[in-house]
Every structure is written in C-alpha cells, then in structure tokens.
C-alpha cells in the first residue's frame, strides 16, 4: 500500500483534528520532503534509515508519530538514540490541533519560532500566509531553507537564523505567532511584535515537569499583555535558551550535608499522586501552584521511588526536599527557606477538593512591564495564583 500526503490528511480527518480549510493543505504538502533520511520515532527511539529501509521510513513519515531528527544539539552521530532529543518533526495531530488554535488565514503575517525541518512553515505558506520562521541552529536553518525551496515554498517563507526569543521585528507586526518549542517564560518581544488582537500559540509549562500544554494567548489592544486558556496537553523540546538551569536551582550552592539540617515528616499521598503520567494534569497543575520549583522523579526498580524537589533562590536561599516512597510509609526530608513538599501536598489537596480540574480550566495572563520584564500570572476560573502561599517558616540552615 502506497502512503503519502493524502494518506496523512485522511488519517487526521478521521481523528477529527483537521481545522476547516486545512485538509487540502495537508494533502498538498508532502511531509517526506522535509523529514531527513535518519529518524527515530519517539515511541520506539529505534533508528529508521531511508536508504536501508525506505518503506518503513515512509510509513513512519506518514503516520501520526513524532520523529526525532536531531540529538544533543547535533553533536550525536551514532545509530542509537542520543542523550537529549533536540529537534523533531512534531506529531501531525498535535500540529493540526495547534493550527486550529492559531486560526491562521490567507494573507496573514505569521512568525514561527522553531523552524525545525520546515514542514510547519510549509503548511502555513500553502495556506497562503506570509511566513517568517526563526531557527537557532544554523545547520537546521540551512536544511529547512533547502527543504522549503525544493518543495516550492522558498519564496514564500523567510528562514532567519537566530534566537527565537528575540522575535524578528523587521517582519512584524504579526497577526499570528506559532511556537514549536516548549516555553517556560514568554518573551516580551513576541507580544511587542504582535498586532493588536493577534493570536500566539505556544507549548508552555513549568520546571516541575517536562510536559507542556498548548496555550492560546490573545494580545491586548495596547500590546502590553496577552491572556488565554490552555487547550491541549502535549510535550515539546524546550527552547534552548529556556532549558532547566541547575544553577538556578542550587547546583553547587546546596550543601552536601543538607540532610543534617533537614526536617523529617511523612505523608498520606503516594508517588503517583504527585507525579502522574505523561499527560496527566496533576504534574502541570502542581507546577502552576508551586512556582520556582524543579521536580525530578527517580524510580528505584519496582520497589520504590524518590521525588526530588529543588527550589530556586528568589531572595532567601535555595531549598530542597526529597520524598521517598517505598514499601514502608513515605519519608519526607526538607531543608531551606521553603517547605517544598508542604507546598506540593497543599496544592494537591486544593486540586483534589475541586474535583481534579483538567488543564482546560486553567490559563495564563502575560504582562510586559515598563522595563521590559514579563509577569506571568496563572489563573483558574476567576482565581489567580498563588493558590497556596509558599511555606517558609524556618531559616535556610539550622532549626531556628
């Protein structure tokens, strides 16, 4: 059976994720024109090489799967999966749903942050949009230009090599901004370079977990802020400028003997309660409730797990907590100015008491202040955060 662009368009139509007017676009733009010869489907992370097995490669290209196209910022060259996936061809259904949120119409100026293979930019160009796309990796930017030119979109998409968090003022103001990398802090440039009423669609999340949620922001008339709801649980590779920075969360600043100053407690919650699965809302909600916190779950075989929590220094020093879950009752150790586990536990009870609302009940308001600083204010209905005040009733060291 021969597969191709029409096969993918039909698949997305059956899944009911194709926006109105986009079926012909997906049928027109061949994903294979943008995907490199070597790919790692992220559900297997086993290399598929077009030269060795063209049929398997083609089936993967026209499936609804994300395809890793680069590891370790291009330093990886082997056949095995690398350490960190740093570029990919997004899952087509996720791309389609985010294009639905974007609502881009012919003639609109669109800024894309994260060119990757160029496939998404090609779809927008085929839709009739005027596209400026920014890619931080020079090799990926060059290859995307080649892909777009070969597919017939070279004159319709301008690919800029640079830092996407800075936008591209010369091409604005933009009617739409599409971001294809995970964001932790919305840059002021995106709002300032958007037209009043423009839509910005981006994957947004916190350092509590690696997952993201698609966020649909509408820019205000004064172009000093934007607000909107979360629409879709997903996961994207993070902007290179916004990957979790261990130095912010302690690094060498945390003393090796922190356990000597830690306070011990226990909990009625379990590991799964506060970690959840890949698209479980609990991790995302806890990240909203417990700001400036990096969470790292560690499994110990089938017998137990530890959830490590690291609190950034926001003026009173770093904090750390370790929640150990095993056969016996959980053991919690906390040290530093914040009681990170107590914040997580209180936030979980807040979420549970409200019937465990999904990500669709939450949103984000972004405001650019006079000095260019961006304030991000999560909300739940009419309630704004913090929902649970940070717990810090002892000094950073000692038992004071």
What are the domain boundaries of the chain? 5-241, 251-353
- Which of 63, 87, 88, 90 is an active site residue? 88
**Sequence-separated (6 or more) residues with CB below 8 Å from residue 110:** 102, 104, 124, 129, 130, 131, 132, 174, 175, 176, 177, 178
CATH number for the domain running over 5-241: 3.40.50.150
CB 307 within 8 A of CB 331: no
Return the H-helix or E-strand segment holding 63: none
Looking at residue 255, its pLDDT comes to: 75
Average pLDDT of the chain is 92
- Active site annotation includes 88: yes
Q: CA 62 to CA 3: how far, in whole Å?
A: 7
pLDDT tens-place string over residues 88-140: 999 999 999 999 999 999 999 999 999 999 999 999 999 999 999 999 999 99
Looking at residue 391, its pLDDT comes to: 55
Please name which of 170, 162, 220, 167 lies closest in space to residue 195, comparing C-alpha atoms: 220
* Residue 279 reports pLDDT greater than 90: no
Helix (H, G, I), strand (E, B) or coil at 27: helix
CATH number for the domain running over 251-353: 3.30.160
Q: CA 117 to CA 180: how far, in whole Å?
A: 11
Please name which of 232, 263, 252 lies closest in space to residue 359, comparing C-alpha atoms: 232
**What is the pLDDT averaged over residues 60-70?**
96
Residue 261: band (very low, low, confident or very high) from pLDDT cuts 50, 70, 90:
confident
* Residue 396 reports pLDDT greater than 50: no
Residue 42: band (very low, low, confident or very high) from pLDDT cuts 50, 70, 90:
confident
The pTM for the full model equals 0.93
Return the H-helix or E-strand segment holding 166: none
Looking at residue 348, its pLDDT comes to: 96
Residue 372: band (very low, low, confident or very high) from pLDDT cuts 50, 70, 90:
confident
Looking at residue 386, its pLDDT comes to: 66
């Amino acid at each position: 059976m021969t597969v191709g662009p029409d096969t993918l368009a039909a698949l997305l139509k059956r899944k009911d994720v194709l926006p109105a007017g986009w079926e012909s676009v997906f049928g027109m733009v061949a994903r294979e024109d943008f995907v490199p010869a070597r790919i790692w489907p992220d559900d297997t992370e086993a290399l598929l090489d077009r030269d060795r097995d063209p049929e398997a490669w083609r089936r993967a290209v026209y499936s609804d799967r994300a395809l890793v196209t680069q590891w370790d910022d291009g330093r990886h060259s082997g056949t095995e999966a690398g350490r960190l996936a740093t570029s990919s061809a997004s899952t087509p259904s996720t791309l389609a749903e985010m294009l639905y949120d974007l609502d881009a119409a012919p003639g609109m100026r669109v800024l894309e942050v994260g060119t990757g293979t160029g496939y998404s930019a090609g779809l927008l160009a085929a839709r009739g949009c005027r596209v400026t796309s920014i890619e931080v990796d020079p090799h990926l930017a060059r290859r995307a230009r080649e892909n777009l030119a070969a597919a017939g979109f070279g004159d319709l998409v301008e690919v800029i090599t640079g830092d996407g968090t800075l936008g591209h003022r010369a091409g604005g103001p933009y009617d739409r901004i599409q971001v294809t990398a995970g964001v932790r802090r919305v840059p002021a440039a995106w709002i300032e370079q958007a037209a009043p009423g423009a839509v910005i669609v981006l994957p947004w999340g916190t350092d509590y977990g690696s997952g993201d949620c698609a966020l649909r922001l509408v820019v205000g008339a004064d172009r000093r802020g934007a607000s909107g709801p979360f629409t879709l649980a997903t996961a994207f590779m993070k902007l290179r400028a916004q990957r979790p920075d261990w130095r912010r969360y302690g690094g060498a600043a945390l003393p090796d003997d922190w356990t000597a100053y830690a306070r011990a407690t226990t909990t009625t919650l379990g590991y799964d309660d506060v970690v959840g699965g890949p698209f479980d809302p609990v991790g995302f909600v806890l990240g909203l409730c417990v700001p400036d916190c990096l969470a790292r779950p560690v499994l110990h075989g089938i017998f137990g797990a530890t959830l490590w929590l690291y609190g950034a220094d926001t003026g009173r020093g770093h904090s750390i907590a370790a929640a150990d879950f095993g056969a016996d009752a959980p053991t919690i150790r906390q040290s530093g100015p914040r009681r990170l586990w107590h914040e997580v536990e209180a936030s979980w009870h807040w979420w549970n008491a409200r019937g465990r609302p999904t990500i669709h009940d939450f949103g984000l308001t972004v405001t650019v202040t006079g000095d260019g600083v961006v304030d991000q204010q999560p909300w739940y209905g009419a309630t704004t955060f913090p929902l649970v005040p940070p717990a810090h009733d002892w000094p950073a060291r000692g038992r004071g």
